[in-house]
Structures are given as C-alpha cells and as structure tokens.
C-alpha cells in the first residue's frame, strides 16, 4: 500500500465506508496547492499500459500531495482537522463536526510555518518515475484520462522547479 494512500482512501470512501476519523500519509515534497499523486497501479485505461508496474520507493517522488488528498476528502464529506509533521493528515467526517466546523481553521492554516515543497527525502535521480505521476485534479476533471493527467503533472512539476526533481536530467 505504501505510496498509494490516495487510491486506497478513495476506494474505501467510494465503497460506502464512512470512518469517523481517518489518517492519510502525504508527500510534503509537493506544495499543498498541487494535486500530485502516483497513479493507481490497478488502472489500465486510455492506452496506458501499467501492467508491468512495480512500485519501488523512489526518493522524494512517492504518494500524494496534500492537495490531492484534500480533493478526495472534501468530495466525500471530510474536513482536515490536523497534520502530524511531514507524515500524516487527519480527517474527520463533516457530520460529526456539526457546528464546530466554523471553529476549525482553513486547510492552509495547518501548513503555516511548514516547509512544504522543500526537500524532505532523497532527491529524485531517475526520470522513470515521471511516467507514474499524475495531477489528480486533472484526472477527476477529465473522467480519468491518464495521459492528460500525466501531462498536467509534468507541467506543474516543471513550473514549480521543486528541489525533489533537480537531479532528473533534461527535466527542467
């Protein structure tokens, strides 16, 4: 499951399970405004063959950014109530918060004074991982188009010039 938290989180919620509280691991190497994630290794669509997909922990390119997890959580009625360092986000079902929602700070507040988007893991050295990264916002908007989602992720990563990808030859 490591690095596929978004897809497992999404599958649990889409199957109708509604845990009161759930935590998700997130990749703090990505800015919170970006919805970057590794693709779901169980998907084969849009002429993208991932049948040979084999996950290997790959330096700083793993899992999902907080922005991608936020899209899934909010679409299923969850609100972020906490962050555990550079590791986990804590979500609570909105119906349990009742009138307390207005007392919770906005999503962005949980990341103030955090060096999100900075390098917290080994620098990415191989471009191989780039074919497995997508922009989840584009994925949702296009109805699951992996090609468009992968292109959008590349565009975001190139524009951001994140320290995570500085060692990938010919990427920037």
pLDDT in tens, 57-92: 667 888 999 999 999 999 999 999 999 988 899 999
Per the domain annotation, does 170 fall within a domain? no
Per-residue confidence band for 46, with pLDDT thresholds at 50, 70 and 90: very low
What's the domain count of the chain? Answer: 1
Tell me the backbone φ, ψ of residue 108, rounded to 5 degrees. Answer: -60, -30
Per the domain annotation, does 56 fall within a domain? yes
> Any idea which residue has 């299923």 for tokens?
76
pLDDT per position as a tens digit, 92-150: 999 998 876 678 899 999 999 888 777 777 888 888 888 889 999 999 999 999 999 99
- Per-residue pLDDT, 135: 98
Angle in degrees, CA 68, 135, 112, rounded to 5 = 40
- Per-residue pLDDT, 44: 54
Other CB atoms within 10 Å distance of the CB of residue 122: 13
- Per-residue pLDDT, 52: 53
Is residue 155 within 8 Å of 148, Cβ to Cβ? no
Tell me the backbone φ, ψ of residue 100, rounded to 5 degrees. Answer: -75, -15
Put residue 161 in one of left, alpha, beta given phi > 0 → left and psi -120 to 50 → alpha.
left
**pTM of the full structure:** 0.89
3-state SS, residue 106: coil
Q: Give Cα 69 distance to the centre of its chain.
A: 5
Other CB atoms within 10 Å distance of the CB of residue 90: 16
Per the domain annotation, does 171 fall within a domain? no
Taking Cα atoms as reference points, which of 112, 117, 156, 118 lies closest to residue 134? 156
- Per-residue pLDDT, 88: 95
> Any idea which residue has 């920037």 for tokens?
172
More confident residue, 55 or 109: 109
**Can you give the residue range of the structural domain that contains 59?**
5-165
């Amino acid at each position: 499951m490591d690095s596929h938290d978004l897809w497992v989180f999404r599958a649990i919620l889409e199957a109708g399970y509604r845990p009161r509280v759930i935590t998700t691991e997130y990749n703090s190497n990505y800015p919170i405004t970006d919805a970057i994630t590794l693709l779901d290794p169980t998907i084969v669509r849009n002429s993208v063959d991932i049948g040979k997909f084999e996950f290997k922990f790959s330096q700083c390119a793993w899992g999902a950014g907080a922005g991608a997890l936020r899209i899934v959580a909010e679409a299923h009625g969850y609100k972020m109530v906490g962050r555990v360092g550079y590791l986990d986000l804590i979500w609570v079902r909105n119906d349990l918060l009742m009138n307390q929602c207005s007392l919770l700070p906005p999503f962005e507040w949980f990341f103030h004074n955090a060096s999100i988007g900075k390098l917290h893991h080994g620098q990415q050295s191989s471009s191989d991982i780039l074919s497995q990264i997508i922009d989840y916002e584009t994925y949702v908007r296009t109805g699951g188009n992996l090609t468009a989602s992968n292109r959008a992720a590349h565009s975001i990563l190139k524009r951001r010039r994140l320290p995570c990808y500085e060692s990938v030859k010919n990427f920037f």
